[in-house]
């Protein structure tokens, strides 16, 4: 099995070092049917493999992390999971952090099983980090939080998403700053990172948040203190969804240095030519640096 991360150096510390070296772009790897068609690839597990490994090849050495969307592999059943396993292993070998965008969330032994699948050294699906859904209660994520900490991996907890339906849950209770569901999730993530920093002295914690790049004024309206999180902020929405580096700077303000901005279709649409993919990655990285 390829070398696994060391618990002595947490995910946040490794991510911070790579951001300083390569910039803050995370390339989403989404073998969507429309993208496979645009690349003249079959909408099969084999097509997803060719697409994904080409995106990873283009990303290697240029970005700190890639984010495969698990559902777009899962749709091919066991063959799709084999492709995802290969991709995660290849990212590890290439020195690119992987974030499995699985959005898992449950209680008790089921949550523990999800944690073992995506974060345990012995799992073939183990990524450097995984996205989690906290809407059964933040503490329901404890098995994943503890396993990630023990094995030097990270998590990104859904905090504030840009889909219109999300506001019905995430903004609830928000008439006073700090009282919304989103604010409580932010506060809980902050507490996790403070505890990690007290143990290890790291400058960036390993409990991240997912905050959509196109949430408008919601961060301000809900009184979210993202700087106090002291952990990474995964911000999907760069590129094809309309957000720019300047938009991210305006949205996140003093928390911008914690942002890992994700572009998926915006990069994928530049393929399949490897040179064009790299140009798109470099352009997005430059846009973020310029912000």
Q: How far apart are the first and last CA of the chain?
A: 40
Rounded to whole angstroms, what are the CA distances from 168 to 124, 172, 176, 183, 235?
A: 36, 6, 16, 14, 20
Q: Residue 180 and residue 200: Cα distance in Å, rounded?
A: 31
Neighbours of 174 (CB within 10 A): 19
Closest CA to 250 of 284, 283, 285, 215: 215
Q: List, by residue number, the catalytic residues.
A: 103
- The β-bridge partners of 243 are 238
Q: 283: number of CA atoms within 13 Å, CB side?
A: 13
Rounded to whole angstroms, what are the CA distances from 249 to 237, 252, 289?
A: 13, 5, 10
Q: Provide CB contacts within 8 A for 55, sequence distance 6+.
A: 27, 29, 66, 267, 268, 271, 277
What secondary structure does DSSP assign to 154-222, as a single string? EEEEEEE--SGGGHHHHTTTTTSTT-SHHHHHHHHHHHHHHHHHHHH--SS-SEEEEE-TT-TTHHHHT
Element (H, E) at 110: helix 108-119
Rounded to whole angstroms, what are the CA distances from 108 to 105, 133, 136, 156, 288?
A: 10, 14, 11, 19, 40
């Amino acid at each position: 099995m390829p070398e696994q991360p060391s618990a002595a150096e947490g995910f946040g510390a490794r991510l911070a070092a790579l951001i300083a070296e390569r910039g803050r772009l995370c390339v989403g790897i989404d073998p969507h049917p429309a993208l496979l068609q645009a690349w003249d690839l079959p909408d099969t597990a084999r097509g997803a493999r060719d697409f994904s490994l080409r995106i990873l090849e283009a990303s290697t050495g240029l970005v700190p992390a890639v984010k495969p969307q698990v559902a777009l592999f899962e749709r091919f059943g066991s063959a799709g999971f084999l492709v995802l396993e290969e991709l995660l292993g290849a990212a590890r070998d290439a020195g690119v952090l992987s974030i499995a965008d699985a959005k898992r969330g449950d209680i008790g032994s089921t949550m523990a099983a999800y944690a073992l699948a995506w974060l345990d050294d012995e799992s073939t699906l183990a990524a450097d980090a995984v996205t989690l859904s906290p809407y059964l209660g933040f503490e329901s994520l404890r098995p994943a939080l503890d396993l990630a900490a023990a094995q030097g991996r990270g998590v990104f907890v859904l905090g504030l998403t840009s889909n219109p339906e999300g506001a019905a849950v995430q903004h609830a209770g928000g008439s006073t700053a700090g009282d919304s569901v989103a604010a409580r999730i932010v506060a809980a993530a902050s507490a996790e990172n403070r505890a990690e920093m007290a143990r290890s002295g790291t400058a960036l914690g390993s409990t991240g948040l997912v905050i959509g790049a196109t949430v408008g004024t919601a961060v301000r309206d809900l009184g979210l203190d993202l700087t106090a999180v002291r952990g990474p902020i995964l911000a999907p929405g760069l590129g094809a969804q309309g957000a720019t580096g300047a938009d991210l700077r305006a949205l996140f303000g003093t928390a911008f240095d914690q942002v890992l901005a994700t572009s998926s279709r915006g990069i994928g649409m530049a393929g399949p030519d490897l040179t064009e993919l790299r140009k798109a990655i470099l352009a997005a990285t430059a846009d973020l640096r310029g912000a």
